[in-house]
C-alpha cells in the first residue's frame, strides 16, 4: 500500500489492485473529520472465512495455515 496526501494505491505481488482518491473519500455518517483517511490509523491483520466475498467455506479442508512472514511500514520524511 502506498499512501500519500492525495491517493492510496493498493498492490498485491507488485500488481495494482485498487486506487482511492482521498479527496473523494468522506465519512458517510457525517462524523468529523469529514475525510476518514486524515485521522490516525492502526494495522489489523485478519483471516476472515466465508461471507459474501469469501464464499461458502463448508467444502474447505481445515485446519489451514495463516502465516505472515513480516509486515513493514515506512513513512517518508517530511520535507
Higher-pLDDT residue of 1, 52: 1
pLDDT in tens, 33-67: 677 777 777 888 887 777 776 778 888 888 778 88
Residue the block writes with cell 473523494: 24
Domain limits for position 23: 2-59
Q: Are 42 and 27 in contact (CB under 8 A)?
A: no
Give pLDDT, residue 19: 95
pTM for the predicted model, two decimal places:
0.54
How many domains does the chain divide into? 1
Cβ neighbours of residue 27 closer than 8 Å, sequence gap 6 or more: 33, 34, 35, 36
What pLDDT score was predicted for residue 33?
Answer: 67
**Between 11 and 66, where is the model more confident?**
11
Residue-wise pLDDT tens digits, 17-33: 999 998 888 877 766 66
72 occurs within a structural domain: no
* 14, part of any domain: yes
Amino acid at each position: 500500500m502506498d499512501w500519500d496526501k492525495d491517493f492510496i494505491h493498493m498492490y498485491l505481488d507488485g500488481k495494482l489492485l485498487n486506487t482511492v482518491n482521498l479527496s473523494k473519500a468522506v465519512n458517510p455518517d457525517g462524523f468529523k473529520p469529514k475525510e476518514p483517511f486524515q485521522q490516525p490509523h492502526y494495522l489489523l491483520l485478519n483471516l476472515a472465512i466465508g461471507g459474501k466475498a469469501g464464499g461458502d467455506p463448508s467444502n474447505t479442508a481445515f485446519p489451514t495455515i495463516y502465516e505472515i512472514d513480516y509486515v513493514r511500514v515506512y513513512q517518508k520524511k517530511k520535507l
